[in-house]
Structure 1
């Protein structure tokens, strides 16, 4: 999920955190653009000089450099090993992504996120040390299915495969009721962590706060319980 679109989280970030993105294809560009728009410092890299130049021209990165990520010396000289978080967005090139992941973890990079093109690829990335593996195509398909079947859910942040934080419109059934009256935890197994509209949210809202249609509420819980919410 694109975290930048979840209203509650737009302003919750570590001000000094910096990211490096290796691979400036469609997925890598999307990651760079989202992080850059959130105000983060982003270093983009690719073996293709044209993609590097394009990322600078389009202003989706703070800095960009052409390099071969399978070469540990090139990564070191570019300062990649100094980043706390590096995203490897070259999932369609299995060998290169695995070697790059290995290079980063052996150099001590704390958090490496790697794109995988298949389940086997994902397992191999985990084997060589990837801290988090993403499957963009699979996740996009799941997101589309959810948006079609649950149009009231504005956005979603997956904590793991079974639990999520979602921003959802207050359903008709909840209109005019207080949070206490809804008994969300006992009835749905969910917790309301924020209520608001647009970019303004009240975190940990008062139990006596009354909900109305048009407002959004942010809830946390299991996906199975979230799916039980009225549309």
Structure 2
């Protein structure tokens, strides 16, 4: 996570139970369905009547409306400006996306999260006041490249551009050795956070724990040091 996003996430109200999602394509549907499944009240908005009807049929939102989000009066009449957090999930129509984000901010929505489809799109969204911009295609592309080049790394959480927490498959070179014997901190500059055992993770494992090939481990450290592991 980019540290510059900390201010945005700190400003979100944990007691907020309502969200609006503008754009019910694949991304918007996923956001809406997940929020709805977690028990939050979601208003889905799209200019396409079929998408609106499908959202209600699939029960991925509590309410769904067909409207033109580039029309501020339509957003106001629908009560979208009253939401604390609105997700603009319009990725493929830059002008519509940017105008919608602008309308929401000018309408007084405290937290506007918007999806960008390109770097220029991202810059435009930030220019009109979007509070948090995500670039899922870019993020997935980076993730895929890392997965193809480092298949032993199962998952990665980037703390910043230089440091990460990664879940990896225990390599053959570590099999049968205890955590103390491996000396990960002195040899690689890494800290071991957890190891898997019987399909569960043991957090802060004992230094006497022996690792087994093919199981999973979670380490934290510098990306350069992580890349030095025999994986």
TM-score for both structures, normalised by structure 1: 0.74
Tell me, yes or no, if structure 1 residue 22 matches structure 2 residue 22: yes
In 2, the alpha carbon distance for the partners of 1:49 and 1:71 equals 16
Judge conservation of contact 1:188–1:225 (CA < 8 Å) in 2.
Answer: yes
Residue 69 of structure 1 and its aligned partner are, at CA, apart by 2.2
How many residue pairs align between the two structures? 219
Q: Which residue of 2 aligns with 1:124?
A: 124
In 2, the alpha carbon distance for the partners of 1:27 and 1:200 equals 31
Residue pairs, 1:138-177, within 5 angstroms: 138-177=138-177
In 1, the alpha carbon distance for the partners of 2:156 and 2:218 equals 9
Q: Which residue of 1 aligns with 2:69?
A: 69
In 1, the alpha carbon distance for the partners of 2:29 and 2:83 equals 18
Judge conservation of contact 1:159–1:165 (CA < 8 Å) in 2.
Answer: yes
Q: Which structure has the greater CA radius of gyration?
A: 2
In 1, the alpha carbon distance for the partners of 2:195 and 2:38 equals 22
Q: Which residue of 2 aligns with 1:188?
A: 188
Q: Tell me: CA distance 1:16–1:131, structure 2 relative to 1, closer, same or farther (3 Å).
A: closer
Question: Which structure 2 residue ranges, 5 or more long, are not aligned?
Answer: 2-13
Q: Which residue of 2 aligns with 1:101?
A: 101
Q: Kindly report the root-mean-square deviation, in angstroms, between the aligned alpha carbons of the 2 structures.
A: 3.3
The answer to which of 104-113 and 119-128 deviates more is 104-113
Q: Tell me: CA distance 1:16–1:124, structure 2 relative to 1, closer, same or farther (3 Å).
A: closer
Q: Tell me: CA distance 1:191–1:67, structure 2 relative to 1, closer, same or farther (3 Å).
A: farther
Q: Tell me: CA distance 1:19–1:205, structure 2 relative to 1, closer, same or farther (3 Å).
A: farther
Judge conservation of contact 1:15–1:40 (CA < 8 Å) in 2.
Answer: no
The residue matched to 1:193 in structure 2 has which SS?
strand
Residue 229 of structure 1 and its aligned partner are, at CA, apart by 3.0
TM-score for both structures, normalised by structure 2: 0.74
The answer to which of 216-225 and 144-153 deviates more is 216-225
Q: Tell me: CA distance 1:123–1:150, structure 2 relative to 1, closer, same or farther (3 Å).
A: same
The residue matched to 2:229 in structure 1 has which SS?
coil
Q: Tell me: CA distance 1:151–1:100, structure 2 relative to 1, closer, same or farther (3 Å).
A: same
Q: Which residue of 2 aligns with 1:52?
A: 52
- 1:57-112 CA-partner distances (Å, limit 9, x unpaired): 23333432223222334434444445444322112211221122223334454443
Judge conservation of contact 1:98–1:128 (CA < 8 Å) in 2.
Answer: yes
Higher RCO, Cα 8 Å, sep 6+: 1
In 2, the alpha carbon distance for the partners of 1:122 and 1:202 equals 40
